[in-house]
Amino acid sequence: MSTDRTMRNAPNAPIAFLKGHGTENDFVIVPDPDNDLDLPARAVAALCDRRAGIGGDGLLRVVRSAAHPEARAMAGEAEWFMDYRNSDGSVAEMCGNGVRVFARYLQRAGHVAAGDMAVATRAGVKRVHLAKGTGPEGAATEDGDITVHMGRAALPDDEVTVTVDGRDRPARHISMGNPHAVTFVDDLAQAGDLLSAPPVAPASVYPDGVNVEFVVDRGPRHVAMRVHERGSGETRSCGTGACAVAVATARRDGQDPARTGLPVTYTVDLPGGRLLITERPDGGIEMTGPAVIVAEGHIDPAWLAAAR
Distances (CA, A) of 64 to 70, 116, 151, 172, 285: 11, 18, 22, 36, 26
> Is residue 239 a known part of a binding site?
yes
Q: Is 97 annotated as a binding residue?
A: yes
Beta carbons of 174 and 265 less than 8 angstroms apart: no
**193: buried, middle or exposed (CB in 10 Å: 19+, 13-18, 0-12)?**
exposed
Buried b (16+ CB within 10 A) or exposed e, 232-270: bbbbbbbbbbbbbbbbbbbbeeebebeeeeeebbbbbbb
12 is in an annotated binding site: no
Alpha-helical (H) ranges within 73-190 are: 96-108
Q: Is 86 annotated as a binding residue?
A: yes
Q: Compute the residue count for the chain.
A: 308
Q: Is 72 annotated as a binding residue?
A: no
- Contact (Cβ atoms closer than 8 angstroms) between residue 97 and residue 277: no
Residue 290: asked if its preceding bond is cis (omega within 30°), the reply is: no
Query: What is the 3-class SS of 253-295, one letter each residue?
Result: CCCCHHHHCCCEEEEEEECCEEEEEEECCCCEEEEEECCEEEE
What residues are labeled active site? 95, 238
Residue 25 labelled as part of a binding site: yes
Q: Are 181 and 203 in contact (CB under 8 A)?
A: no
Query: Which is nearest to 174 in space by CA: 150, 152, 207?
Result: 152
Tell whether residue 211 is among the known ligand binding residues.
yes
CA pair distance 174, 179, nearest whole angstrom: 6
Write out the binding residues for substrate.
25, 86, 96-97, 178, 211, 229-230, 239-240
Which residues define the annotated binding site?
25, 86, 96-97, 178, 211, 229-230, 239-240
